[in-house]
């Protein structure tokens, strides 16, 4: 028997999920829906910054979001232990201390996770898990979860059809203090990685000058001031939740002022410049080792990225 086109429950749930998400995100952010076949990204969220009550400025920052919804979610307790630096060693837990955290669980197919893994970590791909009953939306950065939790524990996870994800209950879009800080950090990922690359290049060039090519201290000062001009107004300095960025920005501005006022002797200038650019280059290491752990169901994360745990 011929039937008319039908609207199935999955489409209704998806539409309801999108509405819930829109109601919880800042009104000046732009949400773009993908209406074609689902290849892992359902929404692109473009972040804007308020200038005043009537105007918002574009930031050039984006979040890629996969949306999943369930009729009702159950909150469960999970015990977590400290682990060693996963950027250097395999997963090893320290059972001498622990934390009990609340999580919601979601079963996700391995194909989707492997697809996201193949994208790398230069863009942020988030899971938004919508509880339709309570209208809560829980978020998880899938790139970071894969690199910092899934692969270290289950390097052969692709041999399984499904993986159970644990999402901290604190990762709730309704919790504005946490969610907006996290989403802004994820939105800045491409800018941060691009900036880290520039820091590394500048450090290498300055090291080369100090080791081989300094013909005059005025030439060295000119090169340093040129590099500072390239980085002093970067938007990453405005991300206040990562305090070290503000500290480094202050150091750069102070160095510029001291150079322009001729306050530094040659040896002191060279030493200060080398130390400063070593610290700038080290931001990449800190980001990989610590910051990418934020907002995950891990011991370190609960010590460093959640206000109530500080």
Q: What is the pLDDT of residue 1?
A: 59
Report yes or no: 76 and 105 within 8 Å, Cβ to Cβ. yes
Q: Hey, what's the torsion of the CAs at 231, 232, 236, 240, to 10 degrees?
A: 150
Closest CA to 309 of 30, 301, 244: 301
Q: Which two tokens stand for residue 296?
A: 């995950």
Report yes or no: 63 and 126 within 8 Å, Cβ to Cβ. yes
- Report the C-alpha gap between 283 and 288 in whole angstroms: 9
Query: Cα 106 to chain center, whole Å?
Result: 21
Bridge partners of 172?
A: 138
Q: What is the pLDDT of residue 84?
A: 85
Bridge partners of 31?
A: 45
Q: What is the pLDDT of residue 15?
A: 67
261-269's contacts with Cβ under 8 Å and 24+ in sequence apart are 266/217, 269/217, 269/220, 269/221
264-268-269 Cα angle (round to 5): 60
- Report the C-alpha gap between 117 and 97 in whole angstroms: 31
List the chain residues with pLDDT less than 70.
Answer: 1-15, 35-39, 212-215, 308-310
- Report the C-alpha gap between 53 and 161 in whole angstroms: 48
**Beta strand pairing call for 125-131 and 56-70:** parallel
Q: What is the pLDDT of residue 240?
A: 83
- Report the C-alpha gap between 17 and 67 in whole angstroms: 8
Q: What is the pLDDT of residue 308?
A: 57
Q: What is the pLDDT of residue 35?
A: 63
Q: What is the pLDDT of residue 214?
A: 65
């Amino acid at each position: 028997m011929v039937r008319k086109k039908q609207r199935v429950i999955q489409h209704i749930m998806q539409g309801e999920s999108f509405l819930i998400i829109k109601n919880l995100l800042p009104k000046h952010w732009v949400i773009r829906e993908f209406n074609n076949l689902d290849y892992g990204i359902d929404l692109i969220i473009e972040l804007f910054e308020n200038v005043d009550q009537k105007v918002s400025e574009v930031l050039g920052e984006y979040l890629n979001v996969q949306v999943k919804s369930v009729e009702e979610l159950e909150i469960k307790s999970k015990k977590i232990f400290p682990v060693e630096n996963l950027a250097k060693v395999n997963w090893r837990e320290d059972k001498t201390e622990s934390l009990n955290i609340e999580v919601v669980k979601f079963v996700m197919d391995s194909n989707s996770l492997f697809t996201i893994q193949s994208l790398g970590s230069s863009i942020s791909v988030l899971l938004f898990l919508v509880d339709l009953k309570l209208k809560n939306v829980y978020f998880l950065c899938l790139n970071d979860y894969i690199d910092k939790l899934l692969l270290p524990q289950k390097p052969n996870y692709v041999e399984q059809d499904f993986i159970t994800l644990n999402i901290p209950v604190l990762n709730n879009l309704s919790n504005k203090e946490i969610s907006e800080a996290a989403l802004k950090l994820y939105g800045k990922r491409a800018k941060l990685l691009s900036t880290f690359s520039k820091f590394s290049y500048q450090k290498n060039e300055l090291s080369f000058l100090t080791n081989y090519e300094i013909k005059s201290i005025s030439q060295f000062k000119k090169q340093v001031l040129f590099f500072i001009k390239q980085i002093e107004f970067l938007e990453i300095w405005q991300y206040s939740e990562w305090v070290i960025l503000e500290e480094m920005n202050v150091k750069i501005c102070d160095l510029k002022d001291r150079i322009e006022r001729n306050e530094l002797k040659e040896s002191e200038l060279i030493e200060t410049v080398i130390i400063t650019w070593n610290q700038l280059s080290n931001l990449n290491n800190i980001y990989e080792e610590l910051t990418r752990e934020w907002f995950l169901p891990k011991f370190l994360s609960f010590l460093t990225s959640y206000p109530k745990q500080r």
